[in-house]
Structure 1
Amino acid sequence: MLMKKWRKSLLPNEFLWRLTFVNIVVISSFIILSSWAIYHTACFLADGMSVMSPQKQNQFNITLFQYLWLLSVPTIFIGSFIHFYITKKMTQPLKDMIDSTKEMKEGQFPKRIEANSAGEIGQLIGHFNDLVQQLKDNEEHRKKLISDLSHEFRTPLTNINGYLKALENGVLEGDKELYRSLYLESKRLTSMLEQLDQLKEWDHISKQSFMQKEKTDIGVLIEQSVDMFQLLMAEKDMKASVQIEPQLVHVYVGGITQVISNLIDNAIRYYEGEGPIRIKGEVLNTEYRLSVSGPGLHIPDNERDKIFERMYRVDPSRSQETGGRGLGLAISKEIIGHHHGNIGLESNEYYHSFWFTLPISD
């Protein structure tokens, strides 16, 4: 215990100075021992030759000692300085990382750290920068999600509170139509909460990896999903063109059925124009591709990648009318990602095709 305390009090606190101190001790010890060996060897050899008088021998010893001393001291200082400079340059990213972690501890996101090498320290700094960027993206996404949720919940809650206040004050009289409006607003809130729970569930499934997959004919799943929307399409006077190839795939049936339903529901919900909704399932080499296409709202080029983000909607006002929450496509992206597939959008002005692919051999 006393030895540890003595060692801590002797060595500097900072890592760079500790490393430099140890290096100085090592260099000094090596040079002193080498000089000592050279000095005694030279003295021994000179003495053994017996060509010098004792006075000259003594003078030789003193001169050799002085030269070794004059050479050793500058070598120690120069070597220590070079070591300090190189070590400082190598460890500067680590010091920057320490400062960055302090900033993160205070709730701030630090700037990107520049790595001076491609070795282990460079890799460590690279991973640290990626981690900071990921945390920053997550924080921005969290703030946006909270803001969107606040906005989404505020409108129906305001409507419900307004109706209830009016009923309490006698401004309105309760009737069937009013109660239906309150019910629809309540159902709207419940629907949002259910979709958020689904997202949370899929996040949990992703982390725990306990998704139960099974071999099934995806063509049958598509046909069943299309049948579920036949009545709704008939009510809206819409037609569907369906072309499906059968294929066995290894999937989580409940999840893929939900994705298919989300894409068809999205095409119906935002249908605008003429022509049928085209649903096509086909085998492409080692993948199965399903596309749901139809006319709809214009989607700007810079918003096509964002359309699969949570709570994102191209036209919020239109989504309020159709009941869209900006969660269905986000859920679909999560599910397809867990199946090692891809999902995307192809758009041509007012005609859009949402698609996903699944590996056949997975």
Structure 2
Amino acid sequence: MKRKKPLTLKYSKLRAKVFIRMLVLIALALVAVDGLYLLVRGRLGEEGVRLLQFFTGYEYEQALSIYNSALREHWEIIMLTVISAFFLLFFYFSLSWFTKYFNEVDTGVDALIQDDAEIKLSPEMSSMEQRLIFVKQTLQNRALEVQVTEQNKRDLVMYLAHDIKTPLTSVLGYLSLLNETPNLPYEQQQHYMKIALDKAYHLERLINDFFEVERYNQQTFQLNQQLVDISYMLVQMPDEFYPILSPAGKKMIVEVEDTITVHGDSDKLARAFNNILKNAIAYSDDNSTIEVSAKTLEGRAIITFMNIGAMIPDDKQDKIFEKFYRLNDARSTKTGGSGLGLAITREIITRHGGEIDLQSGQGTTVFCVRLPLFSQGG
């Protein structure tokens, strides 16, 4: 799965809205203070006396006396009190606005762990809303990946447990038969022993699959890096795979440039190439040729593995590198594996700073590995 580029938070709308609100509050405070000053000390003093006279019913002289003694003589305290009151109101409303946004973010964070909850914030918080939605989608995708991986692993264990019974039963059956009937003809004994041996080898492969699963889960990849001659490694592979190729009339052709050198772990790289070839052999047609080539291009080693046979559908070409993924739903003794070979291969190639991909179509499948060449200056 491709990682999305993280969203950059932008709060221009929020800043503008908060700034306008602050200006409005400050303007209202200035208008109120100025109006009060005019009422107490300025041109509106006469109107203040008349208001006091109107509300109290006093005579003008009496109202003027109260006005002077209560307001004019204490106007500093009154103005300080009013300004303090406006400051407290200003501070209160400012905190209310900010806590409102914090509450929205808190609600959005709660929605992250609720599958059916919608994340919806104020328009000026759209940047944070997009970030929370991005995080939620990422968490959901990772949870789905874990779920699929666990299901594939459970299916694999079930398949392996089922498949182990068959060869084990055959081995026990033929060995019991040989033990109980020692007077069987020699040719028949040899036939039974060969069948038991083949089933034992099959049982060994299945047990190795179990260990492969455990090794992958522990992720114990330690690279012992040194100079590796890719060309020399590849030209030896036809002889190594001859016992697997020969029974089906298959052969391997290797065409490589001389001395392609990379800096890496020779054992791990050999394991990666072996996994690719095992896949190519398993899914290639009988009596076909598997072509392996290697060349250098723009500071990288380009290694390709081409086989003729069953194609990989477009919708499965990315999944084939996922752990525990098997191309065939029905696991067969011929091609069925742990579903880890190509996943481990990609892990090894990636840790060497390389890339791996495939193309499948028109009866051929090509795996392409790109590795950085060894550079004395680097």
Query: In the alignment, which residue of structure 2 is the partner of 1:155?
Result: 162
Is 1:61 paired with 2:73? yes
Alpha-carbon distance in 1 for matches of 2:156, 2:236: 33
Q: What is the alpha-carbon root mean square deviation over aligned residues?
A: 4.2
Equivalent residue of 2:334, what SS? helix
Deviation at 1:295, TM superposition (A): 0.8
Is 1:140 paired with 2:154? no
Alpha-carbon deviations, 1:167-205, whole Å to 9, x = none?
Answer: 9xx9xx89546644652452232121232244246x233
2:220 to 197, 201, 204: 204
CA 1:316–1:180: 2 relative to 1, 3 Å: farther
Contact 2:256 2:295 in 1 (8 A): yes
Matched residues, number: 304
Is 1:191 paired with 2:191? no
Is 1:240 paired with 2:252? yes
Alpha-carbon distance in 1 for matches of 2:172, 2:238: 43
Contact 1:341 1:357 in 2 (8 A): yes
Alpha-carbon deviations, 1:82-135, whole Å to 9, x = none?
Answer: 32122321453245435756x7xxxxx68686783758x997x58954773464
Aligned partner letter, 2:155: D
1:295 to 285, 304, 308: 308
Equivalent residue of 2:236, what SS? helix
Query: In the alignment, which residue of structure 2 is the partner of 1:271?
Result: 284
Using the size of structure 2 for normalisation, the TM-score is 0.65
CA 1:93–1:226: 2 relative to 1, 3 Å: farther
Query: In the alignment, which residue of structure 1 is the partner of 2:18?
Result: none
Using the size of structure 1 for normalisation, the TM-score is 0.68
Query: In the alignment, which residue of structure 2 is the partner of 1:334?
Result: 347
Aligned partner letter, 2:89: F
CA 1:161–1:232: 2 relative to 1, 3 Å: closer
Query: In the alignment, which residue of structure 1 is the partner of 2:293?
Result: 280
Mean Cα displacement is larger for which, 324-333 or 246-255? 324-333
Equivalent residue of 2:71, what SS? helix
Q: Which runs of 5+ in 1 are unaligned?
A: 1-30, 44-52, 104-108
Structure index of larger Rg: 2
Alpha-carbon deviations, 1:209-231, whole Å to 9, x = none?
Answer: x5211112111111122331234
Aligned partner letter, 1:154: A
CA 1:162–1:216: 2 relative to 1, 3 Å: closer
Identity of aligned residues (%): 22
Alpha-carbon distance in 1 for matches of 2:81, 2:204: 91
Equivalent residue of 1:326, what SS? coil
Aligned partner letter, 2:368: W
Deviation at 1:359, TM superposition (A): 1.1
Deviation at 1:339, TM superposition (A): 0.8
CA 1:307–1:111: 2 relative to 1, 3 Å: farther
Mean Cα displacement is larger for which, 151-160 or 248-257? 151-160
Contact 1:93 1:113 in 2 (8 A): no
